[in-house]
């Protein structure tokens, strides 16, 4: 955990938030299919049989089973992943009581966030009911359909009564996000802000501007975190909520009436440690911020315009720790950090309620996550901005994918321990399940990770100085996938590991080639291997100073079991040392394969990196080695030899080459399901292939695609990745004498982990040749 705790102004004020044009917002919601959501079937509905299973008569069978045991609705319907977002439109954003129909775009938007961040399905329920009894009656009647209820944009004080009554009367989670979402997220921010300010939570004075649903929920939550009730002063439109006040009071405000002489926000703010705004624009002044205690904490959460702007607060006090609800300033308190993941954890244990302990677990998980090093993928999502735990980064960013893995298991654990979970989970397995849900490539790699762990291989990384390699090495070590060996300046790497707090790398092997006692031996070995290829001894000495050659000889000599390189070097330059030192296996040719992972499937694409225009013999060899690779992913290979022609439908040199390659491959491996030349559509679609080409050897759709040249293969995988939303794993280097893989330059930490795992599997012995 690296900490940036220096009070400072940002280098210039952040750019003002770009105003959304009215015309753009209206066009966004009205273009194409109207609104923002749709219902998509999860089961096939293409044939008459499918329809008879989806509806009558087949649907009667699950109906009868659920009638016997209502809990089977979680097995036979979508209920377990379905949340109702319920609103009566009486307090929509800052728009007030605009009614349920006018509030529907907001509720659809809430559904989009549930789906985008936690893969939870939502129906928005906008009800024409304002009386408490009517709202409760409608919502309670929805229980058989949903796994949880998210109450939204219902005005205070009715929202308090409605939520409390429904929580008592329903056996599924009921959560009013307007109250608790802000409380949980700002609570996480408060824990870290106090730590950075060096203050104890039971000693700080907290001033709350506002007395609505969010303000009251935040206050209650802060008290549950450890703030003393007597240290809280609440201020509403009538002034300080003090003991004995009668004007504008209600039971919820009365709970926080203070024994204080202060009667205004200005008076209350003097000497305060924390100033929380859940009110309106402009309520805080620079003078108020200046009057606060040392290292003041100001959470100005009014949206879209805060009680005081970030630049104004920073100009007033250099030592202020500031959070707002805006995305264009540091420390955004955004409810999307909470509700999707809280419901995810609650649904997955089939919780009866969302308890205070579950909310507390969510806040603490967010606070701890902010202290961890932030992956480059998050920085890229925010234009390359770097984040480090400190005054300008006290809570995670909304687009940080790790939030799901931190919050949902913490909530599930609290539900289990609190006795409200109907389903008991192994939390380690649950985290892995969430990773697979979040990343299709992680799901595909599951079998490889498991197999690689059976025998711990030593994998060398020439670019050991790079933080991405070090972060990947920690994951590989922590998961027991392989034992990394890092090459580079020893002191520099150890300092980098220390700065990143990569504790799993304590004791890791780090080698500086020029300082290694094996350097002279490796120079001699490289010269011996290449002296008849024009390499002088002096040139061998020079090359051995480059870590790529040192790593290649290290592998050739058996000091390590595999090699992963290429993060900072172009593919051709990265692979050259290994080709010169390791060579390909006898009779084999190197080729590069990408595993292309789509929403519902994954395919193997070859050759994407090495052979520019392979001969028929080379294409046949590529097909066979790629088929071998597929088997290690527990896939029965079905190989399509691709062309612009299908079985002689067009003439040309390329179709003839592919046809010959197919024949050669079939001769060498008669048991392999392979055919070609064939176009992509019949290779992928039985409806086209079977009637038009009933003689085809492909009995099912192809999963291994061998392209006629490098242009076609490289373009195809990149198009699917860039335009089709596919994830790619690789490239996996085939045909080498020993396990070597070359990364895409600048690739992600997870890609390094994936390729290292594949390398470790290949290192386990000849039974894993590909």
Residues marked active site are found at 55, 110
Query: DSSP H helical segments within 669-742, as ranges?
Result: 680-684, 686-692, 710-722
CA-nearest of 303, 237, 293 to 265 is: 237
Q: Number of C-alpha atoms within 13 angstroms, CB side, residue 565?
A: 27
Instruction: Give residues with Cβ within 8 angstroms of 627, minimum separation 6.
Output: 637, 639, 669, 672, 674, 704
Give dist(CA 460, CA 562) in Å, integer. 6
Give dist(CA 175, CA 191) in Å, integer. 23
Structure tokens at 15: 């750019």
Residue 423, helix vs strand vs coil: coil
Structure tokens at 739: 């396990």
Cβ atoms of residues 335 and 398 within 8 Å: no
Instruction: Give residues with Cβ within 8 angstroms of 267, minimum separation 6.
Output: 240, 261
Give dist(CA 672, CA 658) in Å, integer. 16
Cα separation values, 708 from 117, 587, 596, Å: 40, 20, 18
Strands (E), 18-145: 82-87, 121-126
Give dist(CA 310, CA 392) in Å, integer. 11
Give dist(CA 302, CA 280) in Å, integer. 5
SS3 content of the chain, % helix, strand, coil (to 5): 45, 15, 40
Q: Number of C-alpha atoms within 13 angstroms, CB side, residue 481?
A: 27
- 669 DSSP assignment: -
Residue 688, helix vs strand vs coil: helix
| Look-up of token digits 């007597």 | 230
Strands (E), 456-561: 458-461, 483-487, 509-511
Structure tokens at 617: 């013999």
Measure the CA angle with vertex 368, ends 366 and 374; round to 5°.
85
| Look-up of token digits 């390729």 | 755
- 633 DSSP assignment: T
Instruction: Give residues with Cβ within 8 angstroms of 753, minimum separation 6.
Output: 472, 475, 476, 481
Cβ atoms of residues 372 and 1 within 8 Å: yes
| Look-up of token digits 């700065």 | 499
Residue 96, helix vs strand vs coil: strand
CA-nearest of 678, 704, 523 to 608 is: 704
Structure tokens at 444: 């595909």
CA-nearest of 168, 121, 126, 127 to 148 is: 121
Strand partners, 299: 276, 323
H/E segment holding residue 636: none
Phi, psi of 757 (to 5 degrees): -65, -40
- 742 DSSP assignment: E
Cβ atoms of residues 322 and 393 within 8 Å: no
Give dist(CA 528, CA 548) in Å, integer. 17
Give dist(CA 509, CA 483) in Å, integer. 9
């Amino acid at each position: 955990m690296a900490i940036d705790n220096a009070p400072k102004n940002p280098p210039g004020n952040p750019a003002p938030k770009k105003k959304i044009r009215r015309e753009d917002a209206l066009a966004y919601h009205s273009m194409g299919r109207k609104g923002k959501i749709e219902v998509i079937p999860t089961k096939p509905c293409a044939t008459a049989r499918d329809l008879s299973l989806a509806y009558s008569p087949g649907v009667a069978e699950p109906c009868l089973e659920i009638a016997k045991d209502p809990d089977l609705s979680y097995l036979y319907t979508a209920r377990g992943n379905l949340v109702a977002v319920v609103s009566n439109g009486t307090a929509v954003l800052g728009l007030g009581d605009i009614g349920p129909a006018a509030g529907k775009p907001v509720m659809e938007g809430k559904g989009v966030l549930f789906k985008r961040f936690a893969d939870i399905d939502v129906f928005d329920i906008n009800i024409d009911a304002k009386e408490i009894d009517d709202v409760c009656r409608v919502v309670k009647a929805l229980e058989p359909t949903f796994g949880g209820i998210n109450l939204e944009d219902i005005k205070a004080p009715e929202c308090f009564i409605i939520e409390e009554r429904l929580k008592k009367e329903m056996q599924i989670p009921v959560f009013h996000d307007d109250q608790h979402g802000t409380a949980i997220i700002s609570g996480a921010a408060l824990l870290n802000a106090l730590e950075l300010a060096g203050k104890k939570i039971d000693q700080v004075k907290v001033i709350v501007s506002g007395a609505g649903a969010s303000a009251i929920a935040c206050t209650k939550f802060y008290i549950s975190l450890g703030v003393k009730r007597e240290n809280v002063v609440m201020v509403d439109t009538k002034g300080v909520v003090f003991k004995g006040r009668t004007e504008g009071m209600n039971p919820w405000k009365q709970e926080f009436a203070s024994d204080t002489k202060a009667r205004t926000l200005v008076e209350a703010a003097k000497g305060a440690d924390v100033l929380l705004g859940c009110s309106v624009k402009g309520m805080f002044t620079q003078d108020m911020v200046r009057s606060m205690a040392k290292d003041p904490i100001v959470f100005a959460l009014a949206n879209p315009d805060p009680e005081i702007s970030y630049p104004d607060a920073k100009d007033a006090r250099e030592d202020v720790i500031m959070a707002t609800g805006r995305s264009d300033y540091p420390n955004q308190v955004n409810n999307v950090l909470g509700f999707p993941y809280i419901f995810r954890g609650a649904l997955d244990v089939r919780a009866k309620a969302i308890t205070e302990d579950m909310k507390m677990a969510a806040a603490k998980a967010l606070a701890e996550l902010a202290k961890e090093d932030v992956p480059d993928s998050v920085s890229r999502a925010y234009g390359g901005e770097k984040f480090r735990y400190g005054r300008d980064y006290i809570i995670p960013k909304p687009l940080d994918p790790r939030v799901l893995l931190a919050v949902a298991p913490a909530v599930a654990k609290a539900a289990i321990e609190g006795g409200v979970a109907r389903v008991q989970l192994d939390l380690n397995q649950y985290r892995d399940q969430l990773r697979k849900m979040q990343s299709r490539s992680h799901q595909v790699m599951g079998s490889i990770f498991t197999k690689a762990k059976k025998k711990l291989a030593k994998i060398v990384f020439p670019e050991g100085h790079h933080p991405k390699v070090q972060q990947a090495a920690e994951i590989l070590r922590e998961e027991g996938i392989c034992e990394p060996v890092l090459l580079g300046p020893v002191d520099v790497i150890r300092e980098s590991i220390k700065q990143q707090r990569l504790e799993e790398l304590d004791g890791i092997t780090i080698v500086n080639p020029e300082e290694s006692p094996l350097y002279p031996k490796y120079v001699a070995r490289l010269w011996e291997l290449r002296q008849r290829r024009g390499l002088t001894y002096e040139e061998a000495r020079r090359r051995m100073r480059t870590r790529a050659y040192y790593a290649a000889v290290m592998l050739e000599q058996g000091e390590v079991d595999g090699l992963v390189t290429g993060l900072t070097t172009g593919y051709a330059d990265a692979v050259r040392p290994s080709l010169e030192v390791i060579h390909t296996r006898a009779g084999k040719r190197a080729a590069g394969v990408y595993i292309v992972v789509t929403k519902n499937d994954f395919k193997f694409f070859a050759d994407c990196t090495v052979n520019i225009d392979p001969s028929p013999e080379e294409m046949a060899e590529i097909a066979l080695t790629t088929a071998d690779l597929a088997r290690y992913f527990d896939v029965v290979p079905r190989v399509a030899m691709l062309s612009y022609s299908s079985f002689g439908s067009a003439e040309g040199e390329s179709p003839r080459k592919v046809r010959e390659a197919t024949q050669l491959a079939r001769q060498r491996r008669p048991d392999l399901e392979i055919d070609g030349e064939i176009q992509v559509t019949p290779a992928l679609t039985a409806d086209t292939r079977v009637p038009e080409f009933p003689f085809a050897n492909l009995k099912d759709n192809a999963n291994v695609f061998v392209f006629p040249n490098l242009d076609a293969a490289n373009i195809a995988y990149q198009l699917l990745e860039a335009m089709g939303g596919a994830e790619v794993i690789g490239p996996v280097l085939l045909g080498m004498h020993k396990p070597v893989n070359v990364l895409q330059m600048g690739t992600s930490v997870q890609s390094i982990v994936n390729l290292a795992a594949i390398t470790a599997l290949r290192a386990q012995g000849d039974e894993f040749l590909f």
